[in-house]
Structures are given as C-alpha cells and as structure tokens.
Structure 1
Amino acid sequence: MTDGHSAPAPDAAPATAGDHTAAPVPADVRAHGDHHTQSQPHGLKEQDSAERLTPRPTFMEHLATSRDSQFHLDRQDSSELDRYFHGPRDMDKHSKWPIFLRMHGSVTPKMILPMLWVAGWSTAVTLISAKVHDLSISNILLTVLGFVVGLALSFRSSTAYERWADGRKYWSQLIQTSRNLARTIWINTGEREGDLGKEDLLRKISAMNLILSFAVALKHKLRFEPDIAYEDLAGLAGHLDTFARDAHDRNIINPKAKTLWKSAGEYLGVSFAESNPRKLIKRSKKPIGHLPLEILNHLSAYVDSIVANGTLVSTLHQGQASKKKKNTDPIYKPGQNANQMTVTMLAVFNEVLTGTERVLDTPLPTAYSIAIAQISWIYVLVLPFQLYASLRWVTIPASMVAAYIILGLATIGSEIENPFGQDVNDLPLEVYCRQIALELDVITATPRPNVEDFMTRADNLVLFPLSQNGYDEWKDRSVEDIRGALRAKVVASPTALGSDASTVVASISTQPKQSV
C-alpha cells in the first residue's frame, strides 16, 4: 500500500469477514459479466474469461508497468512549472516571500488574458476620446454599478468559501471517525486462541486497510476518477468484488499527454481548453458502481462478523461501530435535537460520503454564475468611459487595476467552488489520506496495551508534578495519604510545585491523620 500503509502481498490476500466458498455460477451468468459472481480462485485460468472480473494480480502487474505514467496522480514526469501552478498546495513547504509577491496559489496566470483584453479596450476608448470624439460619460454609474458589483462578488465569494469550508469539515470528520473505528477494531476487538487468533489478527489488519481504502476511494470519486487500479488504491481494494474492478480500463489509468496548447490554455484559464471533469466516467464501457459505498458494505460485513464470532463483545462498542438507534429514554420525543440519536461510526462514514457528494454536485446555480460574470464584465467595460473625463491617459492603468480586483475576486470564487480538484487552492486530499494511513500504522504498530503493564510501572508518576514518587511508593501508602496529596495539588501554591514539590508530599505522608 502506498501512503505509508502496508498492503498484503498480491499472492497472499488476507481472509475477509464473511468469506466463504462461492457456489458454481452458470455459464450464461458469467457470459454477461455479472459483477456479483466470482466462482473461481484468482489462480485458475480460463480461456473464455474476457468478460470476467480482473484478478487482483493483474492490477499489481499493471501498476508495475504504468507507475511512471500516472500523470494525474503523482506528476513524477511533470515539469517544475506544472507542479508550481497545479496543486493542491504542499502544506509542508514554507515560503519566505511576502504574501503579495507569491505566485503559487495566485490567480494571476488566469488573469493575463482578461487583463490584456481590458488594456486593449481601455486604450481604444482613450485614443478615440482623445483623437476623434469624446466618449466620456458621467461617473455617477461608478457608485450605482459599483454597489451592485460589490453585492454580486460578496455573494459569489461567500458561497464559494462556504463550500470549501464544508469540504474541509467533512474530511476532518472522516479523519476523526477513522481514528475511532480503527481504535475500536484494534483495541476493543479480541483475538481468539491458536490459529483462530492469527486469522483474527489478519482480518483486523484487512479491516484497517478497508478504512483507508474508503478514504482513498472517496478522494478518487470526488475527482471523477472511476477506476480501481490507481497506485494508491489497487493494493487496498483490488481484491474486493466491486463494479469498478469489473469496469477496469487501462486507458483510464494511462491518459494521453496534453498538448502544449491545451496545457497553456489551462494555465491561462481559457474555457475552451478545459476538459469535461467527468470525461473518464462518460467513457467507461461498463457500470462503474459506487466504490466508496461498496467498500463501506464490506466494512459493515466485517463488523457483523466480529459481533457474530464473539470477538467484539461490548454492546457499547458494537453500537458505536455499526448501528444507529434511537434513544430509548422515555422522555425522548421525535423531532428532538439530533444529539438525542446515537450516531455511530459507519453511519458517520456514510454521512461524510453524502455530504461531500452534496458539495460536489450542488454548485452555485448557473443563472447566478452567468449573471455575476456578466455584471462584473459590464462594469469593467464601462469603466473607461467614466474615468476618461477625470483621468485622461491614466484611464488605461486605472481600468486595468480595477479589472484585476473585480475579475480576480470572481475568478477566486470560481476556483474554490469545487474544493476537491487539482487546483493549488483545493483541499490537499492526498495529505489527508496519508495522515489516515500514518495514524492507522501507529495504531497497529503495537498490540493492545495491557493495563497491568502500563498502570503499575515504577516510573508511573501518578501524582506528577506534585510528587516524583512512582506507583510502587504510593501503593504502599494509605488511602488517606493519597487523598491528602490530591488535595495538596489544589491547595499548594504554584511556587510549591517546583523543585520542592516532593518535600510537600513527604511532609503530608509522615502525618497521615493530619487534615490537609
């Protein structure tokens, strides 16, 4: 697995929850490529398997031959200029340039062509007014139209940022829930004796991979990347029986290189050069399904299996992991606050999935977008006529400055409206997935902590910083001594909790009956 989380080897796929031998499948069903059928192990060969599911080793072999060509994933073969103007931004890098001089993340490249157009337009108006006929008009429109443009840009910016903030909120919720579910699986799910314990351990690791694969699959879905053989996803979910696996297309993983004119057009924000973001989905020859939801189904099946085999015995943890039930308190009434519901982790995964899809699929209505763009351009084009009477030749640079401000704000709103893309200002989804992978590795790096091991250690300074004595010393004292020391932590002044803190406790412990 990429992003720091180790995936099982291709030839040793771990047993999954609810795994059982599949029944033979009729030939007519196999011929139609039913994605629910997988009657043969991966190692068997069939000559008539063109419509069958692609075995997992094929994905790994594919990655070995196409890793360098995944331009849209890691951009290893892209130029420095491409990495500079594309994103998302690397949060680990720090720039010492003053913020008003920075280009990384700026919309200046997309403003070049509009600024050239405004410069030519304002120059033409100024020349005609100075040499042929005065075209100047009253500048009263500056106030009237300026107010309208301000309202339009404010609305555009606020709605776009709200979508960006909602996207970040959902991914924060995903990270938090991944931590909670991983801890429940790793710590609160037991392991049986003997070979069953080894099987339980491998299934727990596989469940951890499913948690990460949900986040990675969600990232690709939000970027309209429908395949399963991406480098960071194939090792995690390539063994699952999913629609995306059946619809795997090598051409989707290896897109054609962009021409110079197309790349330049995208840098400059030319709308004619931009591709349909859903083109990979539209080109799919088979149903691509809903990979994050299908992964969630497999994860839910695993949770049901550990409840059934008795390794997850706590009803509290069972409810947290999978079920969503109403509060049974008699004072509960329908329609009360949502906090009256026990919303659990798999349900939260589904809420994150639905919420991010809402952000992605519900942009600002087209009528608003068109009207705001038209209002902004009308104001910019009328501006030279209003400025010429007062500024004369300064009308040209003044119009360009005003256009940069107005059109720049409109461009920013358009860029951050979809926070899940590849722009510099979009959310760094790769960073979030790597964070989840690293934290899952941290959780699984050690077995479940034994309470006796870490609670009774001699270096457990139970009353730090008041006392430097360890657990063993305090275990030999009376309950009155311990409670008196706890009170001393509150009563003692901050200066008493310095280097002489142990002296304070020592004096208390020598007089156990004395009131502290």
Structure 2
Amino acid sequence: MDIPRPSLNVEEARKSTSTAEQMLIPRPKSIPQAFLRPSEDKYQRNDSLKFDEYFLGPRELDRHSKLPMLLRIHGSCLPELIVPLLVVGGWTTTVCLFSRHVHNLGISSTLLTVLGFVVALSLSFRSSTAYERYMEGRKAWTTLTVTSQNLARNIWINAEEREEFAKDDLIAKVTALNLIVAFARSLKHRLRFEPYTHYDDLKDLVQHLDTFAKEATKLEPERDDTGPTSFWESWGAYLGISFAMSNPRKIIKRAKYPLGNLPLEILNHLNIYIRGIMSDGAFKANIYQTQALYAISTMNDVTATTDRILNTPLPLAYSIAISQLTWVYILILPFQLYSTLGLVAIPGTLFAAYIILGFAYIGQEIENPFGHDVNDLPLDNFCNQLAADISIIASFAPRKADSFVNNEKNLIMFPLSYESSDVWKERSIDEIREALERNALVHMNNVQSRLRNRQNTDKDDGRYERMRASAREMV
C-alpha cells in the first residue's frame, strides 16, 4: 500500500515550516555596516536584488543579474583593487609632475618589454594553479554529493527492516541519513576553521554523538563565536587589506581543549551503523555491503583531499616572488611611459595596473575555494541541497516494483502506443518485442526529422523516407 504524500502547496508548506527547516534557506554573510540601513535586517530576503547585496555577500545560484558583465561589481576584484590603485595613482602622479616641472625621469622602454614577458609568465602560473585548486575543490565536493546520495539510497532501499524490530530499524535508518548530512556540514565548517558544534545548521544533528568537538563546545563557553565582525575587520576583508583582516585560524589556535576531527568522528558513528545492519543481515546481497563500505571510504578520501587543498597553498617563495615582481613592474611603468605619453601616462599606468593586479588578485581570491567570499564555492548551498536530496530519498517508502510497473498509467510503448501495461500483458512476447522494434523506428524517425529541420535541407537518400512511411503505417 502506497503512503500518500502530504500537500504540495508551496505557500502552505512555507507557513508550516519549522525553525529547523528554516536553516535550509541560505543567508548572506555579514557586510560592512555602512551598507546596511538602520531599520533593515541584514538577513531579510525578497525577490529583488538590493543595492546592499549587490556589492557583498556569498554567491547565490538562484540570483540573476540583468546587468552586462562589464558593469558588474558583485563578484569582481574591483573592491580589493581600490587601495592599490590609489597608491599607484599617487605614485604615478608624483613621478609625472616631478618629470614635468623639475627633472625628466623618463627611461627607455627596453626594460618594460623584458619585464613584461616575465610578469605575464608569472601571473599565468599563479592563475592556472589557483584555478586548478578551485576546480579540484569543486570536484571533491561533487564526489561527496554523489557518494552521499548513493549511500543514502543504499541504506534506505536495500537495507531491509526486520519484522519484529521494524520501527527501531526505521528510526536507525533516518539517523544514518542525518549523519550523512551532518558529515557534509561538519566538513564545511572544518574547512572554514569552525571546529565546534554550536553552529545553527549542525548542532541539532550531532548533539547525540560522543565527539571531542561537542565536549570542547560545552567546556569553552567563552569561545570565539562566528557573529558579526568588527568595523575594521569587515572593511579590511572587503577592501583586501591584509593587516586589517582577521586570522581565520585564530579560533583553533586559542582552543583550550582538544577539538578532534568532527567529520572523521561522524564517519566512525556511520560505520558503526553499517557494521550493525551487516551483522543483522539487513543487506541480502554482498554487493550492497561492498557499496556501503566503499562509500564510507570515499567520504574519507574527500576529507583528505579537501584538507590537502586547504593546507597546501602555493609555496610561499612563489607567492612572494610573484607579488614583488608584479609591484616592481607597475612602479617603474610611469618612468617608461612618461617619455612617450607625457601626463597621459597617469591614466595609462592606472589602466595597466588594473589589468595586472586584477589577475594577481583573482589568483589570490580563488586559491582557497572553501571560504565565505563571493568567488568561493557556495558550500552552504551545496549542503542544503544535499540535505534536501536525502530528504527526497527518505520520502519514498521502500516498496515492490509492482506498485508502478502494473500502474494503469504506465505507457510502456510511448509514443508508438498509448495503451497501458495491463493491455500489453495480454499480448505475446513476440508481439511485445516487435512493438519495441517499431518504437525504436519511431524514435529514430523523430531524431532524424529534427536534424533535417535544423540543417534546412530537402535532400533525402530514400532510406529515412521509407523509415518514416513504415513508422506511420505501424502506428
């Protein structure tokens, strides 16, 4: 007997949404207070893109901007370039005015050509390595999503419930599915240097587990919270000023008690559950057991991969050398441009500095793809989507295939025939196989017709015309 689904009215569902379910709604990170109106809640959401949210905040996949790429600020590196461009503008103006009124400081452009090649090579290296780390992080999270969905489906569908302990087994299944969601969210917080368990989207999923992080959360009520940052920290992060930014690892450095490794500890509990249902014979086929254990191993591999990406940045010597070389090149630009451009060297240098520093800051921006910045991976959205997907899997009660195979609306020969599976049961096997061949001809005819329409040609070799005629006759 199929279990009826609840009402699918979206408005009614929103009105009855609980506090825990509200956590599925993504929230933007804190922004400089100058961008917030006094009477406005910074977490307030509506359908229009607000002026405040245009400049700052995490990337949201459901947002759409009608502005062309040329005019977009949200997601660009322009805010981080404001201070460097002011410095370059002041320096260039000083050099040009001194050369105009005191002594000409112009030099040959030979040095510009030589250093330009080296700067381009170094920036290309920096950008390619940073983008490789970004894509590797995305691939790791995709692997985690696919593995989590497969493990949840394997537990929910393939693990049979014992008749005498059906309710206990069902509760254990739901608990295991919640552990999969908790693993993804704990990994997200670990990658963002948030090692405790008091976070709103995590605490209700792990409070029943015996972990080091839970004990440290209880013993350290004075721990640093991830609340709104100070004025200087928020503006320092927005403008990319390093000495005004907060160290993201300070929470871990100031911890007074062992914090453990919450994702690995959650995997331990999940492995205990898998071992238990294997001992009880819930998996009737050995392949189900192998898939479950392999999923646990893959989730552990994702943890190691993301840790490697996070804790192995570009070697410091490379970063320092590229930064120094870039700035030396920009600072000697006005000396070389003044000889040919005069005072036009001021905007010329600014434009060149914007291009060069822009690529340098893009590499710095995406080198760590797990943070809270606009161009980082939207891990909050990924975790919320994974939780929704696993909830969808759990909403489908395990049942026999007859419940949908023998349904009167099952049109197995569509588009050749609109008859249900009950009608085709009265036919012979040879008739069913012959109908499948005819159905294949209909599909090939449709595909070929679309291709010919796209090519806008009247040519026909006769073969497909005979196929169309045959399909029409069969139907």
Equivalent residue for 1:88?
58
What is the rounded CA distance, in whole Å, between the counterparts of 2:30 and 2:156 in structure 1?
A: 31
SS at match of 2:210: coil
The structure 2 residue matched to 1:375, chosen from 325, 330, 346, is 325
Indicate yes or no: 2:306 matched with 1:306.
Answer: no
Aligned 8 A contact 1:467 1:505 in 2: no
SS at match of 1:250: coil
Q: 1:506 to 1:283 in 2, by over 3 A?
A: same
1:226 positional shift: 0.7
Equivalent residue for 2:209?
240
TM-score w.r.t. length of structure 1: 0.76
What is the rounded CA distance, in whole Å, between the counterparts of 1:107 and 1:404 in structure 2?
A: 10
Question: Which structure 2 residues correspond to residues 405-420 of structure 1 after superposition, within 5 A?
Answer: 405-420=355-370
1:73 positional shift: 6.5
Hey, which of these two has a bigger chunk of helix by percent?
Answer: 2
SS at match of 1:247: helix
Structure 2 gap segments, 5+ residues each = 1-18, 32-40, 45-49, 450-466
SS at match of 1:372: helix
The structure 2 residue matched to 1:167, chosen from 123, 137, 141, is 137
Equivalent residue for 1:187?
157
Q: 1:204 to 1:255 in 2, by over 3 A?
A: closer
Indicate yes or no: 2:424 matched with 1:474.
Answer: yes
C-alpha distance after superposition, 1:393-451 (max 9, x if no partner)? 10111010011111111011111100000110000000000110110111111211321
Letter in 2 for 1:411: Y
Equivalent residue for 2:439?
489
Aligned 8 A contact 2:334 2:346 in 1: yes
1:320 positional shift: 0.6
Equivalent residue for 1:449?
399
1:227 positional shift: 0.5
Equivalent residue for 1:144?
114
What is the rounded CA distance, in whole Å, between the counterparts of 1:495 and 1:158 in structure 2?
A: 44
What is the rounded CA distance, in whole Å, between the counterparts of 2:470 and 2:426 in structure 1?
A: 18
Runs (4+) of structure 1 exceeding 6 A deviation are: 71-76, 78-82, 495-498, 503-509
SS at match of 2:252: helix
What is the rounded CA distance, in whole Å, between the counterparts of 2:387 and 2:226 in structure 1?
A: 27
Q: RMSD of the alignment, in Å?
A: 2.7
What is the rounded CA distance, in whole Å, between the counterparts of 2:170 and 2:441 in structure 1?
A: 49
Structure 1 gap segments, 5+ residues each = 1-62, 323-343, 510-516
Indicate yes or no: 2:225 matched with 1:254.
Answer: yes
What is the rounded CA distance, in whole Å, between the counterparts of 2:43 and 2:291 in structure 1?
A: 45
Aligned 8 A contact 1:466 1:497 in 2: no
Equivalent residue for 1:288?
259
Equivalent residue for 1:431?
381
SS at match of 2:76: coil
C-alpha distance after superposition, 1:341-364 (max 9, x if no partner)? xxx211110111110111001000
Aligned 8 A contact 1:213 1:233 in 2: yes
What is the rounded CA distance, in whole Å, between the counterparts of 2:60 and 2:441 in structure 1?
A: 49
TM-score w.r.t. length of structure 2: 0.83
1:487 positional shift: 1.8
1:462 positional shift: 1.2
Letter in 2 for 1:393: L
What is the rounded CA distance, in whole Å, between the counterparts of 2:160 and 2:429 in structure 1?
A: 34
Letter in 2 for 1:124: T
Equivalent residue for 1:211?
180
Letter in 1 for 2:445: P
Letter in 1 for 2:161: E
Aligned 8 A contact 1:227 1:252 in 2: no
Question: Which structure 2 residues correspond to residues 307-386 of structure 1 after superposition, within 5 A?
Answer: 307-322=278-293, 344-386=294-336
1:490 positional shift: 3.2
Aligned 8 A contact 1:485 1:508 in 2: no
Equivalent residue for 2:338?
388
What is the rounded CA distance, in whole Å, between the counterparts of 2:342 and 2:315 in structure 1?
A: 40
What is the rounded CA distance, in whole Å, between the counterparts of 2:146 and 2:65 in structure 1?
A: 29
The structure 1 residue matched to 2:169, chosen from 200, 210, 223, is 200
1:257 positional shift: 4.6
